[in-house]
């Protein structure tokens, strides 16, 4: 996936949140996902639904999520040890993916009617994250995981 944030952008975004720490080190890490396209069809008395939905599965831990957009992709060479390996079985992931679509529909729409969900295609993609090492005012170390596509970040070990 294409970086929305370069290292300098990540620096600025983090320092915007607080001045009471310093960034000591930052490096890239690529996280694997299977991006799947499904067609969802539903015909009710008052409405019809025929949409493509994108489901992502984290291929390291097997967690599913709905993708908001297909995103932008670029081909790039990366160092091998900066890529988290794929642990999940691709066929099983595709087989189980419709459950995520069902539960998302249930949660969002509170329905018991389930639509037909048909598999269309898939692609293995990698999302760039920055691992950021920081020091607080007491010189204690903490780490941040920074999503280089969306700019979201989360404390890793604190």
Partner 1 sequence: MIGGGVTEYVVLIIYLIGMIGIGVYWSKHSKTSEDYLLGGRSIGSVLTALTLQTTSMSGYMFMGGPAQTYKDGYFTLWYAVGDGGGAIFNVGILGKRMRRLSYYLGCLSPIEYIEKRYPGKATRAIAAVIAICFVYGYVLAQFLSAGKTMSALLGVPLPVAIIIGAGVIVFYTFAGGYLAVAWTDFIQGIVMVCSMVMIFILAWGQVGGLTGLNEQLTAIDPTYTGMWGKDNAYLGQWGVVAGAVGVYLIGYMGLPHVVIRHMAMESPKLAKQTVVIATVWNQLFIFIPYIMGLMGIILLPELGQPGGDREMVVLMLAYKLLPGVLAAIVLVAIMSAIMSTADAQLMLMGTMLGRDVYQRYINKEASDKQLMSVSRICILVVGVVSIIIALLRPPGVFSLVVFSFSTLGSSFLPSYVGAVWWKRGNTLGCYLSMISGCVISVIWEAAGLAGPTGMHTFFMGIIVSIAAYIIGSLIGPPPTKEMQDLIDRAACKTKIPAGLATANYKDIAPETSGVLTFLKDSSYMEERGFQPV
- Per CB under 8 A, residues contacting partner 1 are 14, 17-21, 25, 27, 29, 31, 40, 42, 44, 46-47, 49, 51-54, 58, 60-61, 63, 65-66, 68-69, 81-82, 84, 98-99, 102-106, 108-114, 127, 129, 131, 133, 136-138, 140-145, 147, 150, 152-158
Using the minimum distance from each CB to partner 1, give the nearer residue, 102 or 119.
102
Nearest distance, CB of residue 8 and partner 1, angstroms: 18
Comparison of 35 and 144: residue with beta carbon closer to partner 1: 144
CB-wise, 5 or 127, nearer to partner 1? 127
Compute the least distance from the CB of residue 71 to partner 1, in Å. 13
- Least Cβ distance, residue 90 to partner 1 (angstroms): 17
In the complex, least distance from residue 12 CB atom to partner 1, rounded to whole angstroms: 13
Three-state SS string across the chain, please?
A: CCCCCCHHHHHHHHHHHCCCEEEEEEEEEEEEEEEEEEEEEEECCCCEEEEEEEEEEECCCCCEEEECCCCCCCCCCCCHHHECCCCCCHHHHHHHHHHHHHHHHHHHHCCCCCCEEEEEEEEEEEEEEEEEEEEECCCCEEEEEEECCCCCEEECCC
């Amino acid at each position: 996936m294409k970086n929305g944030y370069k290292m300098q952008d990540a620096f600025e975004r983090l320092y915007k949140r607080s001045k009471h720490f310093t960034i000591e080190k930052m490096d890239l890490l690529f996280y694997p996902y299977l991006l799947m396209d499904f067609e969802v069809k539903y015909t009710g008395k008052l409405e019809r639904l025929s949409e493509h939905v994108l489901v992502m599965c984290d291929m390291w831990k097997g967690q599913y999520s709905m993708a908001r957009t297909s995103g932008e992709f670029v081909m790039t060479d990366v160092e091998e040890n900066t890529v988290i390996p794929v642990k999940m079985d691709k066929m099983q992931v595709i087989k189980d993916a419709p459950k995520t679509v069902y539960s998302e529909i249930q949660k969002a729409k509170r329905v018991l009617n389930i639509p037909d969900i048909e598999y269309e295609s898939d692609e293995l993609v990698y999302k760039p994250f920055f691992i950021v090492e920081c020091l607080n005012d007491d010189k204690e170390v903490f780490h941040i995981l920074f999503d280089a596509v969306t700019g979201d970040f989360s404390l890793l070990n604190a």
